[in-house]
Structure 1
Amino acid sequence: MISAKYVNRDLSWLEFNRRVLEEAQDPETPLLERVKFLSIVSSNLDEFMSVRVAGILDQIRLGYNKKDFTGYTPSGLLKRLMKRTSKAVTDQYRTYRELIRSLSKEGIVFTSFDELNSTQQKAMQVYFDEIVFPVLTPMAVDQSRPFPLVHTNELYLAVVLQRRLEGAEGWQEPDQEPFFAVVQVPSILPRYIQVPNRMNSKKQEFIRLEDLIKVHIDMLFSGYIPVAVHGFRTTRNADLTLNEEGAEDLLEEIEKELRRRRWGVPVRLEIESGMHPYALQLLQEEFEIMEHVFTIDGPIDLSFLMKFAVSLQNVDHLRFPKLDPVYPEELADADDLFSVLRTKDVLMYHPYESFDAVNDFICQAADDPDVLAIKMTLYRVSGNSVLVQALARAAESGKQVTVVVELKARFDEERNIAWARQLEKAGCHVVYGLVGLKTHAKITLVVRREQSMLRRYVHVGTGNYNENTAKLYTDAGLFTSNPVIGEDASILFNEVTGYSAPHDWQAFGVAPTELKDKLISKIEREMKWAAEGKEAHIIAQVNSLSNQEMIDQLYAASQIGVRIDLIVRGVCCLRPGVPGLSENIRVISIVDRFLEHSRIIYFKNGGEEEVYLSSADWMTRNLTRRIELMCPVFDKALCKSLIQMLHLKLRDNAKARELQLNGTYMRVRQENQPCRSQFEAMHIEAWKAVPVRV
């Protein structure tokens, strides 16, 4: 029996990806932004298949048939997921065709080789001969040459061939089995190639790389005639299986697992519409996939559309207006950031406020002779990171620099290994966290000598130290020199890098030891206020909510009269509006220009309001298997700013969808004045409770 109390996590995720697809379908969204949303739908689904669906298939292979707390067995859930995924892919490609037609009306055209004029065809022939052909490798499959390694999520061409009869123009005998080969579409080359303009035409024309290869495929197989050429792609299980306790060197163990990931069990096969039955049979036999085969009516893997949309020139009218983040007012005129932070805490909210302030904080610490130590966690870092360069510079100048690098950040493992080695080479103490736990907390500690004392400066945030994603994600960050927070920060780093026992935190809530208990105790406190007849209110913004114990605690609070507003971008297993259970709970999801990534928790607390910034979502993995951090915001004005931001999101009636009793989402109706929270927040005075200079 399917639970009436909970929404299944994976079905909820598919609902989230549908909301992203709705943004690609929304005619009110600028055209190239719609194209980017469609790319995100594709990338999201790749990760879902390679991690979540792969995990369910592992359970089925092991014979696991117990129901989860939402009432699904692995096999029952898989059937439901595949049915919905198939429908979603159909909707995705219908949207793709609509966007292609819209792009064409704007003079941006994907064309075929046959539709090009002779001058354009000649240019594409030269491009193929000089750029594409040298990197192509035809790989025959026969008795002497086994099936080649097919990399996960890479595009390939399946080529069915017949031998040309010697001395004649015909083919081989019709009853002879055809020949088969595989050609990888080079991922080092762009998936789209701009064609030279036609005379007196302003159209921008493009041809897809795989289509250009298909036209010239006979150049790879002299003496054979291509009968059919169709694209295919396989998705493999991408979860790392690490034996951390038995690994002498975690970095080397992860490098080995990354190599093994290439051989992960296939979980999905995508084939181009019209694929030759002989080719399909060979692929299914090789990958041992009979059921999870998706026939794609269009180009396989639409994730290339992101780079395409970004790269187009002279079409800014098809994009969102450019946002120029402002430098935090409190720090704008300060030559010495430390002098400001000695007197006040400073709140930042990205992307409306610039991440440059974080870079400047670390760079100033690196170059300040009075700074003795810098300690920092790194989970996902941008390429050419200013922060990494500053940390290296600080270590080379003799400062004590400790960096906790999370090597197990999914799909960023190789990049983080490179950063770790660069930092170690510069003299930083690089720590890979604790065995069995990912370090997901986002915190920096700077220890500075000031007169006869040492002072700690702390930055704690809800997002990664990544200057690129800080332009695309909504995240909050806090600068403070509060001694209580500083002491907790020191102890946290000591726990991660040394053998310190779990601590009785003064300010922090830290997972996996006591963050969940701390959250539950604060929910229970709101229940106490409600029982006394006082207003009780909880607002929580997280990316995902799937931990059963947290959900049950929220249900209990709702039943006793606590008003609960949840802003959950992605997965939400809580079911609002159940009579007698969750009538006082409202759940919304905002999907808009920026990825909602903040984790902000608010408790009414009988009028003594409390606000916390956190790195943790309310998922079992965050609360029990990761090092996570929740930090209070003590400054009342900054608390007010965050509360105003939360209420701004709760008023959103343009891009907010509300979770319904049946697990689906409906757009919030514009009954009052229209409110698009992300666009409103670009006007800093709409949420910031401290004076803002015009």
Structure 2
Amino acid sequence: MDNKYENFINRELSWLEFNKRVLEEAADTTNPLLERLKFLSIVNSNLDEFFMIRVASLIEQVQANFNKVDFAGLSSSEQVKKITEKVHKMVYEQYDIYKNLKSELKNEHIVILKPGDVSDDQREFINVYFHSKIYPVLTPMVVDNSRPFPLILNKSLNIALFIDGKEEEENIFATVQVPSVLGRIVELPKYNDDKCFILLEDIIKMHINDIFIGHNIKAMGCYRITRNADLSIDEEGAEDLLEAIQQSVKNRKWGEAIRIEIEHDMDDRLIELLNEELEASFGEIYDIKGPIDITFLSKLGSIEGYDNLKYPNFNSVPVPEFIVQENIFDAISKNDILVHHPYQTFQCVVDLVKMAARDPKVLAIKQTLYRVSGNSPIVKALMEAAENGKQVTVLVELKARFDEENNIIWARRLEKAGCHVIYGLVGLKTHGKILLIVRNEDDGIKRYVHMGTGNYNDVTANFYTDIGLFTSNPYVGEDASSLFNMLSGYSMINEMNKLYIAPSGLRKKFISLIKREEDNAKCGKKANIIAKINSLVDKQIIEALYDASKAGVKIQLIVRGICCLRPGLKGVSENITVISIVGRFLEHSRIFYFYNDSNEEIYLSSADWMNRNLDRRVEILFPIEDEENKHRIKQFLNVYLSDNVKARILNSDGTYSRVTCNDGDEMINSQEYFSKKAIKQVKKAKKQENQQKFTPVTSFKI
């Protein structure tokens, strides 16, 4: 391989290494049993999206005879080949772990039964359940001269069959979709103190003769296809972006078949027919030794009771500054407030929008929304604000992948409530997280701003780690106004006071910050960079880090997912270390630290070091300037870098190894540490609040 390629790890292979780390959590016996089921479910849903988007894109390149290699030196066809090899191995390991987990569940009296294992009472229950709940929604489809092969929905689970025809040797193909409107896993009456479940497809198989009455079933097996779901939208030519995206979401269900999963030991003739009819010329067939699509394990992992098999209950704690000062606006006016989710509650963000909606002093609210929950209290508060006569402007990013439908629904409702709704910018996704509140106060107009590393999503805020900043800094407020003017109109952004925005100046800023550390190192000064991000893919950023490493800059990277940089290469990246933390919560915050010749600078951002974030999205980088907040973030980084429980180290060959923990070393799980630290901060704040309430009056004036 050419030397210039040896310095980089292929993006897709790096992502598979990330999914392997999630798989390791499913196998890790130090995690509670039911939580391990959830990790195994996540591996499955991750692979679905990977095939629908990344593999689909590579296959399109292969079909178009696109032979250009990536920066790791691999062509599209080579990538598909390597991906296939790794995923087949991963799926084998996945189902090996599933088999072990089933055995462990049985020891805890939780049993997933096969049709041959059910008791007479359970069989009677199943019979009633099938005829009352399942049979009415089934649609068996037979293929013959008058009925063509049906369109099979993306990610739907189906049962393929051969039934006998009029001629003795004739096989007629039929398919039955396992209805997604019903729960995949059905609880049965207990047996010998076991909590028993059976899968929906197994119930259907048990009653298949009730569906094809008068026919013999010659062969039968489950299958599932994954289709190309990458949206292709002509934004320039679309008269109505909202309608264009709605149509593209519909089309996603019927894209080209990219992967076919089949039940182990399926009849070869069924496999051949499926492969031919689904036109999966590039679609790889995966033989599944267990239930196809084990995302149902997430539901099983959430069954009530069995607290001993789950993580201890976790409740986000209040933010100390908002305990001491009840009025949110007064608290933000006093100091910049840093909030660490999910350890500290996201409710403070919701409360701010709610208070702004009802506060007569508030004139305007402006906010970006990328991914919101299905029952978003923030969106409801924005609607209330508009109904109360506030000027409300909301940028709803319709192109947020797999959240398009949800965002379309909210956009319509916001418009009906009287909000000004912007559907993003042509050619760019608006990924930056910012909220601006304009308030008319006694001393004039004042702007309050919230910015964060994560989405305004009250649900994911409970299990994504993110950091948010509340500020009333007038320079930040001025920048926020400029940004919203750019988003809502054609206003150009000139030099900003505090913020840096992609795609206009963010790449340049990052490169200059890295280069400054390089220059300091060349002058013999101490130089250090720490970055915590989700993904590192951008070639220019990686090369800048390599140059800094060669100059002697100590670079510590905390990269949860994809990392295309190779650490530890002699003469290239000897001064770079990379760790990845995969645990109970999804690491999502983006933090950037630069030593800057002892004048330390710290930034938070919505952006990762990926070319899409720096060149094709509206992103925000903002500084942390309050010394106490800077100190807190430095502590965060130190704890992450000290993690020896959930951290893995990236090796030069692209694989990961667990951090070795020597005998006598203190065990540090960064996520557990932050949970305990947040509780201590709240106790301290409540103690201060009580002291303020009960401070005796020593003198008074009449």
CA contact (8 A) 2:323 2:686 kept: no
Q: Which residue of 2 aligns with 1:390?
A: 381
Structure 2 counterpart of 1:93, from 74, 95, 100: 95
Structure 1 counterpart of 2:156, from 151, 154, 157: 154
Structure 2 counterpart of 1:630, from 599, 616, 621: 621
Q: Distance in 1 between matches of 2:428 and 2:119?
A: 59
**Per-residue deviation at 1:68?**
1.0
Q: Which residue of 2 aligns with 1:306?
A: 298
Query: Aligned to 2:490, what secondary structure does the other structure show?
Result: coil
Q: Please tell me whether residue 424 in structure 1 is matched to residue 415 in structure 2.
A: yes
Residues 401 and 185 (structure 1), Cα distance of their counterparts in 2 relative to 1, 3 Å cut? same
Structure 1 counterpart of 2:669, from 666, 673, 676: 676
Residues 12-27 of structure 1 correspond to what in structure 2 (within 5 A)?
A: 12-27=14-29
- Bigger shift: 671-680 or 320-329? 671-680
Residues 316-369 of structure 1: CA distance to partner in whole angstroms, max 9, x if unpaired?
100010111111000024331001111111110011000111110110011101
Q: Distance in 2 between matches of 1:147 and 1:685?
A: 58
Q: Distance in 2 between matches of 1:131 and 1:516?
A: 56
- Bigger shift: 663-672 or 247-256? 663-672
Q: Distance in 2 between matches of 1:645 and 1:686?
A: 15
Q: Which residue of 2 aligns with 1:296?
A: 288
Q: Which residue of 2 aligns with 1:248?
A: 239
Q: Distance in 1 between matches of 2:685 and 2:518?
A: 37
Q: Please tell me whether residue 196 in structure 1 is matched to residue 189 in structure 2.
A: yes
Q: Please tell me whether residue 69 in structure 1 is matched to residue 61 in structure 2.
A: no
CA contact (8 A) 2:319 2:682 kept: no
**Per-residue deviation at 1:452?**
4.2
The runs of 5 or more residues in structure 1 that have no matched partner are 166-171
Q: Distance in 2 between matches of 1:687 and 1:421?
A: 43
Residues 391-443 of structure 1: CA distance to partner in whole angstroms, max 9, x if unpaired?
00000111010110011111111011001111111111110111000000011
* Runs of at least 4 residues off by over 4 Å: 685-694
How many percent identity over aligned positions?
Answer: 51
Residues 688 and 313 (structure 1), Cα distance of their counterparts in 2 relative to 1, 3 Å cut? closer
Residues 498-520 of structure 1: CA distance to partner in whole angstroms, max 9, x if unpaired?
10113211111110111010011
**Per-residue deviation at 1:11?**
0.4
**Per-residue deviation at 1:87?**
0.4
Q: Which amino acid letter does the alignment assign opposite residue 628 of structure 2?
A: A
**Per-residue deviation at 1:278?**
2.2
Residues 472-501 of structure 1: CA distance to partner in whole angstroms, max 9, x if unpaired?
110000000011111111111111111011
CA contact (8 A) 1:458 1:479 kept: yes
**What is the root-mean-square deviation in Å for CA atoms of aligned residues?**
1.4
Residues 499-551 of structure 1: CA distance to partner in whole angstroms, max 9, x if unpaired?
01132111111101110100111111111221222211111000000000000
Q: Which residue of 1 aligns with 2:141?
A: 139
Structure 2 counterpart of 1:5, from 4, 7, 18: 7
CA contact (8 A) 2:503 2:617 kept: yes
Residues 147-205 of structure 1: CA distance to partner in whole angstroms, max 9, x if unpaired?
11111111011011014x7xxxxxx51xx23011110000011111000123xx32100
**Per-residue deviation at 1:690?**
12
CA contact (8 A) 1:656 1:667 kept: yes
Q: Distance in 2 between matches of 1:327 and 1:689?
A: 7
Q: Distance in 2 between matches of 1:480 and 1:518?
A: 22
Query: Aligned to 1:446, what secondary structure does the other structure show?
Result: strand
Q: Which residue of 1 aligns with 2:216?
A: 225
Query: Aligned to 1:369, what secondary structure does the other structure show?
Result: coil
**Per-residue deviation at 1:277?**
2.0
Q: Which amino acid letter does the alignment assign opposite residue 294 of structure 2?
A: L
Q: Which amino acid letter does the alignment assign opposite residue 386 of structure 2?
A: A
Query: Aligned to 1:539, what secondary structure does the other structure show?
Result: strand
- Bigger shift: 53-62 or 498-507? 498-507
Q: Which residue of 1 aligns with 2:33?
A: 31
Residues 516-555 of structure 1 correspond to what in structure 2 (within 5 A)?
A: 516-555=507-546
CA contact (8 A) 1:681 1:687 kept: no
CA contact (8 A) 2:318 2:682 kept: no
Q: Which residue of 2 aligns with 1:502?
A: 493
Q: Distance in 2 between matches of 1:16 and 1:308?
A: 24
Q: Distance in 2 between matches of 1:29 and 1:135?
A: 39
Query: Aligned to 1:43, what secondary structure does the other structure show?
Result: helix
Q: Distance in 1 between matches of 2:653 and 2:407?
A: 41
- Bigger shift: 387-396 or 524-533? 524-533
Q: Distance in 2 between matches of 1:73 and 1:470?
A: 38
Q: Which residue of 1 aligns with 2:698?
A: none
- Bigger shift: 494-503 or 542-551? 494-503
- Bigger shift: 587-596 or 326-335? 326-335
Q: Which residue of 2 aligns with 1:488?
A: 479
Query: Aligned to 1:342, what secondary structure does the other structure show?
Result: helix
Structure 1 counterpart of 2:362, from 341, 359, 371: 371
Q: Which amino acid letter does the alignment assign opposite residue 145 of structure 1?
A: R
Q: Please tell me whether residue 559 in structure 1 is matched to residue 526 in structure 2.
A: no
Q: Distance in 1 between matches of 2:483 and 2:41?
A: 39
Q: Distance in 2 between matches of 1:243 and 1:608?
A: 47
Query: Aligned to 1:613, what secondary structure does the other structure show?
Result: strand
Q: Which amino acid letter does the alignment assign opposite residue 495 of structure 2?
A: D
Q: Distance in 2 between matches of 1:642 and 1:142?
A: 66
Residues 689 and 491 (structure 1), Cα distance of their counterparts in 2 relative to 1, 3 Å cut? farther
Q: Which amino acid letter does the alignment assign opposite residue 293 of structure 1?
A: I
Q: Distance in 1 between matches of 2:385 and 2:497?
A: 30
Q: Which residue of 1 aligns with 2:693?
A: none
CA contact (8 A) 1:680 1:686 kept: no
Q: Which residue of 2 aligns with 1:594?
A: 585
- Bigger shift: 638-647 or 680-689? 680-689
CA contact (8 A) 1:642 1:687 kept: no
Q: Distance in 2 between matches of 1:361 and 1:344?
A: 15
Residues 686 and 220 (structure 1), Cα distance of their counterparts in 2 relative to 1, 3 Å cut? closer
Q: Which amino acid letter does the alignment assign opposite residue 364 of structure 1?
A: M
Q: Which amino acid letter does the alignment assign opposite residue 204 of structure 1?
A: K
Q: Which residue of 1 aligns with 2:59?
A: 57
Q: Distance in 1 between matches of 2:219 and 2:686?
A: 66
Residues 689 and 540 (structure 1), Cα distance of their counterparts in 2 relative to 1, 3 Å cut? farther
Q: Which residue of 2 aligns with 1:259?
A: 250
Q: Distance in 2 between matches of 1:688 and 1:6?
A: 42
Residues 156-171 of structure 1 correspond to what in structure 2 (within 5 A)?
A: 156-163=158-165
Q: Please tell me whether residue 605 in structure 1 is matched to residue 596 in structure 2.
A: yes
Residues 328-339 of structure 1 correspond to what in structure 2 (within 5 A)?
A: 328-339=319-330
**Per-residue deviation at 1:288?**
2.0
CA contact (8 A) 1:653 1:669 kept: yes
Q: Which residue of 2 aligns with 1:404?
A: 395
Q: Which residue of 2 aligns with 1:43?
A: 45
Q: Distance in 2 between matches of 1:670 and 1:680?
A: 17
Q: Which residue of 2 aligns with 1:214?
A: 205
Residues 685 and 121 (structure 1), Cα distance of their counterparts in 2 relative to 1, 3 Å cut? closer
What is the TM-score of this pair, normalised by structure 2?
A: 0.95
Q: Distance in 1 between matches of 2:237 and 2:443?
A: 46
Structure 2 counterpart of 1:616, from 583, 593, 607: 607
Residues 241 and 429 (structure 1), Cα distance of their counterparts in 2 relative to 1, 3 Å cut? same
CA contact (8 A) 1:507 1:631 kept: yes
CA contact (8 A) 1:641 1:687 kept: no
Structure 2 counterpart of 1:457, from 448, 464, 467: 448
